[in-house]
Amino acid sequence: MTDKLIIFDTTLRDGEQSPGASMNREEKVRIARALERLKVDVIEAGFPAASQGDFEAVQAVARAIKDSTVCGLARALDRDIDRAGEALKDAARSRIHTFIATSPIHMQRKLNMPPDQVVEFAVKAVKRARQFTDDVEFSPEDAGRSEEDFLCRILEAVIDAGATTLNIPDTVGYAMPEQFGRLIARLRERIPNSDKAIFSVHCHNDLGLAVANSLAAVANGARQVECTINGLGERAGNAALEEVVMAVRTRKDFFPCHSEIDTREIVACSKLVSSITGFPVQPNKAIVGANAFAHESGIHQDGVLKSRETYEIMRAEDVGWSANRMVLGKHSGRNAFRTRMQELGVEFASEEELNSVFFRFKQLADKKHDIFDEDLQALISEASLEAEDERVKLVALKVCSETGEVPNALVTIKFDSDEKTGSATGGGAVDASLKAIESLVHTRAKLTLYSVNNITSGTDAQGEVTVRLETEGRIVNGQGADTDIVIASAKAYINAVNRLLAPLNRTHPQVSEV
Ligand code: KIV
Ligand code: ZN
């Protein structure tokens, strides 16, 4: 039996720090349930001190999850730790993850603190966190650019103070695999009490090395990897969970450890995260990209048909590609619908809520013959967005697109309690529709991304549209799904507008007050 590699997922925390990827409480709970089905060991649900909304989202995840440990991030500050402890109070298993920067540049320019004081804060934070839970993780932020001697000193002190996991972050994605692996090996060797804690790594992908660095650390004794679904995360993202997990599983001959992830849930989880955050997965992305298992060239196809091992090192079904089941259709009843929703981790708060989503399902089933899990997830996303306090709602949309004519759109929205109608022309039906909406909401935001993905296959598939709006340094993503992509685009634009209109009152954990 090899060692267990703990998989710590931070999609809901670091992943959420990607511009535009912020998630509401209900979305976080849905993703957390998918992560639990994936059998992730630790789910970092958020940074409770960021805002009341973030606190409540972590609390909701802590209450909903039974099998995975739920973790909350806290700076090395009493108030952050108390907030995290409070948010995690009802969790079956909880962890507090506290951190402080240790690189010379961060200590001098960000914290404005001498190293002795940084050690003092770290020790105090760990001791305080231990008053809430026995499971305490400490991270020396920017460890990748910190001095080894100082890391040894602070890590030894926090183990003595009660830290059970030491997480070594390459915060800015600067490390090289060989060097990072060696750092882990040396820290384990040099810190006298290192056997009392689990070594973890948290790598960013600025140089495209997050997975390579994480795996080098595993080869040198790290037994926890922090990662995100689809590699989502601050800037270029974090190490992709699916790549780390499948590398360790596929190369059992190389890694002296194993994870307990149910790999067949990977693709469903990837699709859910992509659909909720509006971050599409590139087709050639390892494991979860649409082409990851598609053998296009004749030579490869021939090889695979004769013997799949010729060109395949993993089986598509082992990561959940073939699990794209047709689950429901036009004739499916409420019970079948409710059961499948429960299997997908969706709980309805009332019969009324169930009825309203079931009604949407029937409407969709009239337009689309086969309803897949992904369609159901899109229905839930739409229903929950509408349940939020959305100030703008789409009432009606009429577009005219004809060869030789300038496309035009007529749109009616409800903005607070006023119904407004506007029209616009544009380069195409989508352009005209979005311009007509903008003429009514006046965000003056810049549209920096517009993308359409089909949720399933076939010309009757729902199109899922993501738009990104930027204004005054604020970035939001909006999503909309419909079998008609012009309507999906209008819904996505309105969703983004609603996010822009919501007040922003949130602290970023790494823009520190410490
Ligand atoms: O990248 C980083 O250093 C982090 C810490 C908060 C662990 O995300
Ligand atoms: Zn990070």
**pLDDT for the residue 411:** 98
Q: Is the CB of 139 inside a 6 Å radius of any atom of ligand 1?
A: yes
With vertex at residue 260, the alpha carbon angle to CA 70 and CA 96, rounded to the nearest 5 degrees, is 20
Q: How far is the CA of 66 from the centre of ligand 2 (A)?
A: 25
Instruction: Note the ligand closest to the C-alpha atom of 168.
Output: 1
**pLDDT for the residue 506:** 81
What count of other Cβ atoms lies within 10 Å of the Cβ of residue 513?
A: 9
Mean pLDDT of 134-156: 98
Q: 471 has which bridge partners?
A: 474
Q: Is the CB of 171 inside a 6 Å radius of any atom of ligand 1?
A: yes
Q: Is the CB of 226 inside a 6 Å radius of any atom of ligand 1?
A: no
The pick from 10, 171, 214, 508 for probing ligand 1's pocket by mutation, whose C-beta has the most ligand atoms within 8 angstroms, reads 171
CA 239 from centroid of its chain's CA atoms: 12
**pLDDT for the residue 304:** 66
Q: How far is the CA of 226 from the centre of ligand 2 (A)?
A: 9
Q: Is the CB of 270 inside a 6 Å radius of any atom of ligand 1?
A: no
Q: How far is the CA of 84 from the centre of ligand 2 (A)?
A: 18
Specify the CATH class of 3-277 in words.
alpha beta
Q: Is the CB of 499 inside a 6 Å radius of any atom of ligand 1?
A: no
With vertex at residue 356, the alpha carbon angle to CA 353 and CA 362, rounded to the nearest 5 degrees, is 140
Structure-model confidence comparison of residues 20 and 121, the more confident one: 121
Model pTM greater than 0.85? Answer: yes
Of 54-63, 138-147, 216-225, 495-504, the one with minimum mean pLDDT is: 495-504
3-state secondary structure 391-427: CEEEEEEEEECCCCCCCEEEEEEEECCEEEEEEEECC
Residue 355 has φ and ψ, to the nearest 5°, of -60, -40
Whether the pLDDT of residue 264 is over 60: the answer is yes
* Closest residue to atom 2 of ligand 1, CA basis: 171
Structure-model confidence comparison of residues 57 and 332, the more confident one: 57
Dump pLDDT digits (tens) for 91-110. Answer: 999 999 999 999 999 999 99
Q: Are 181 and 145 in contact (CB under 8 A)?
A: no
* Closest residue to atom 1 of ligand 1, CA basis: 171
Whether the pLDDT of residue 511 is over 60: the answer is yes
Mean pLDDT of 279-283: 90
Dump pLDDT digits (tens) for 238-253. Answer: 999 999 999 999 999 9
- Ion ligand 2, residues whose Cβ is below 5 A away: 14
Q: How far is the CA of 13 from the centre of ligand 2 (A)?
A: 9
Query: Across all residues in the chain, what is the average pLDDT?
Result: 93
| 3-class SS of residue 251 | coil
Q: Is the CB of 202 inside a 6 Å radius of any atom of ligand 1?
A: yes
Looking at the chain, the whole-number percentage of residues with pLDDT higher than 90 is 77
Cα distances (angstroms) measured from residue 85 to each of 7, 51, 188 = 22, 15, 29
Mean pLDDT of 360-365: 92
Residue ranges per structural domain of the chain? 3-277, 293-323, 334-385, 390-501
Whether the pLDDT of residue 471 is over 80: the answer is yes
Instruction: Note the ligand closest to the C-alpha atom of 137.
Output: 1
Q: Which atom of ligand 1 is nearest to the CA of 143?
A: 3
* Half-sphere exposure of residue 334: CA atoms within 13 angstroms, side-chain side: 10
**pLDDT for the residue 323:** 56
**pLDDT for the residue 296:** 60
Residue 408 has φ and ψ, to the nearest 5°, of -140, 155
Dump pLDDT digits (tens) for 286-343. Answer: 999 988 987 666 666 666 667 777 778 999 999 998 755 557 888 888 888 988 888 8
Q: Is the CB of 46 inside a 6 Å radius of any atom of ligand 1?
A: no
**pLDDT for the residue 177:** 98
Would you state the torsion angle of the CA atoms of residues 442, 445, 448, 454, taken in this order, to the nearest 10 degrees?
-40
CATH of the domain spanning 390-501, picked from 3.40.630.30, 3.30.160.270, 3.40.980.10, 3.30.1220.10: 3.30.160.270
DSSP line for 159-214: HHHT--EEEEEETTS---HHHHHHHHHHHHHHSTTGGGSEEEEEEB-TTS-HHHHH
Dump pLDDT digits (tens) for 430-441. Answer: 999 999 999 999
Cα Rg for the chain, rounded, in angstroms? 24
Mean pLDDT of 9-38: 95
